[in-house]
Amino acid sequence: MSDALGTKHLLGIDDLTADDIDLVFRTADGFKEVLARPIKKVPSLRDITVANLFFENSTRTRISFELAEKRLSADVVNFSSSTSSTKKGETLIDTVNNILSMKVDMVVMRHADPGAGVFLSRHVDACIINAGDGTHEHPTQALLDAYSIREKLGRVEGVKVAIVGDILHSRVALSNVLCLRKLGAQVMLCGPTTLMPHHAKDLGVRIAHDLDEALRWCDVANMLRIQLERQGGDGIANFPSLREYAMLFGLDRRRYEAIGKDIVIMHPGPINRGVEITSDVADSASSIILHQVENGVAVRMAVLFLLAGGMDRQPRP
């Protein structure tokens, strides 16, 4: 049986070709229509059980995945590390194998360690979807971001996207760069030098340290969250103060109006209002932040649907 997607798992954007991404988008178009119906549910995954394993906190992504699974009629079990046996010292493989022995077919996992999904895919027999692994990747976020750009501007190819902020700690930035580049967009990373990883120059993107320059260049600005919980050691070590950060890299109305053209504003959430973006911009007509959230469900339905399509229906030995 051939895989619908050419990959068994979704661990990172590199698992997908540009054609795969296009297939995800076209399938998501179908699901957007389903989500506009009075009954927002289809039976495609009714014989599939999905475990959502969140070893790290999440609101949006967990709810988005759970809604996507439920609207595909999958059976869903949820797990969050704060209430689980990992606190008692169980290893990741043991935890997951125990869950799989209860006949789970797919695992959606968020974990604080980069590569946790890849590691798991080598040791357990289930389809793994990475919902964020440390500072590494967050592929479904990148897919829904690119999908939202495609929806807003009609295309991704040739669009200039500036990703602004805490690039160093951002899995969203890395996945977005890989995904947008595959689709032919031009990407610029913008942030303070201390929040720009050394590998950035190898990604084939422009790099800027001046927000106004990035804003003048781009068609779309994706304002990343300052990841306060990941800043070095005891608090914030990569920039002097939030106030200074907001002054130099925060997007406010005055700065937006100075660009002299309309650009699309995105944010992967959760927003630190008044830090990377002010409320008057985040809630303005240029912002597609809530469309991103809405599209997230359709895109995740498409990913689940397509990965399930490539799964062997035979019971595992």
Q: Catalytic residues, which ones?
A: 60-61, 88, 110, 138
Q: Does 30 participate in binding other proteins (rule CB under 8 A)?
A: yes
Considering the complex, state which of residue 114 and residue 309 has its C-beta at the smaller distance from other proteins: 309
Contact 99, 53 (CB under 8 A): yes
Q: Does 269 contact other proteins by CB under 8 A?
A: no
Beta carbon of residue 293, minimum distance to other proteins (angstroms, whole number): 22
Q: Does 135 bind other proteins (CB under 8 A)?
A: no
DSSP label at residue 270 = -
Residues in a beta bridge with 208: 190
Name residues whose C-beta falls within 8 Å of residue 31's C-beta, 6 or more positions apart in sequence. Answer: 71, 297, 298, 301, 302, 305
Could you tell me if residue 56 is left (phi over 0), alpha (psi between -120 and 50 degrees) or otherwise beta? beta
Out of 33, 90, 125, 157, the only residue in the binding site for other proteins (CB under 8 A) is 33
Task: Estimate to the nearest angstrom the gap between the alpha carbon of 262 and the chain centroid.
Answer: 25
Q: Applying CB under 8 A, does 308 fall inside the site for other proteins? A: yes
User: Which amino acid does the sequence have at 297?
Assistant: V
Q: Kindly state whether residue 1 participates in binding other proteins, applying the rule CB under 8 A.
A: yes
Task: Tell whether residue 27 is a contact of other proteins (CB under 8 A).
Answer: yes
Q: Where are the beta strands (DSSP E) in the chain?
A: 49-54, 75-80, 106-111, 127-133, 160-164, 186-190, 206-208, 220-223, 264-266
31 binds other proteins (CB under 8 A): yes
Stretch that binds other proteins, among 34-42, 172-180, 238-246, 288-296 (CB under 8 A): 34-42
Which listed range, 1-9, 91-99, 240-248, 278-286, lies at the site for other proteins (CB under 8 A)? 1-9
Would you give the DSSP letter of residue 273? Answer: B
| Tokens linked to 279 | 């409320």
By rule CB under 8 A, what count of residues binds other proteins? 26
Contact set with other proteins (CB under 8 A):
1-2, 4-5, 23, 26-27, 29-31, 33-34, 37-39, 41-44, 72, 305-306, 308-309, 311, 313
